[in-house]
Homo-oligomer: A and B are copies of this chain.
């Protein structure tokens, strides 16, 4: 029933346009009653993003299951990968939705609120993990925003391949970029030999002996 409603809605949205399609049109096409629609979807917008609620729950559960030994930034990146996988599971649907969303301002706004809910979930997790830091709250918000931006950058690149590219690789390399900037020993700038500003970033604790710093720098220089 739920799948039939989603399929009917997308057929109509692509055929007539989102604004021109009513909930009555969708239920007539799916051959079910109006009440059935609202049992599954609070609004017409929700049928366009049917799996985000489940994905947000999965993300929350994944973050709640984080061990103290997990690097918080890497864990947040892994949590973002859950969203990528939801898109990659159904490339045709994801690409159709991408095209539809580009055409309908109301859906873009709805999508912003979906994206914001992921960002808040990541920020909340990071804030808990950074409580010992004086800058914990700010750091959590900034890293959550960076993770979401990188994820979306990789995801859009994948959607532009019409879902034919490797979503895990495209989103993964974008997330690695952020992880590199906010975890130790990796460089946010060093993505390849063609780069102009080929830099190495070393993050070390104050009071670390100089010989250890040098060893870390050398490891960073040889790392790629």
Contacts and interface: CB of A to CB of B under 8 A. Distances in A.
Contacts of A221: 206
A203 B201 contact: yes
B206 A190 contact: yes
A116 B206 CA distance: 37
Interface string A106-123: 001110110010000000
Contacts of A207: 198
A64 interface: no
B189 A135 contact: yes
Number of copies of this kind of chain in the complex = 2
Interface stretch (A30-38, A80-88, A96-104, A177-185): A177-185
Interface residues on A, range: 35 or more
A201 B203 CA distance: 4
Nearest to A110: B109
B153 A149 contact: no
Contacts of A202: 201-202, 204, 213, 217
A133 B146 CA distance: 19
Given A134-B192, A138-B150, A142-B150, A184 B199 contact: yes
A116 B115 CA distance: 11
A200 interface: yes
A109 B191 CA distance: 36
22 contacts: A112-B112, A134-B194, A135-B192, A139-B177, A139-B188, A141-B152, A142-B149, A142-B181, A145-B145, A145-B146, A145-B149, A146-B149, A184-B199, A187-B203, A198-B205, A198-B206, A200-B203, A202-B217, A210-B214, A210-B217, A213-B214, A214-B214
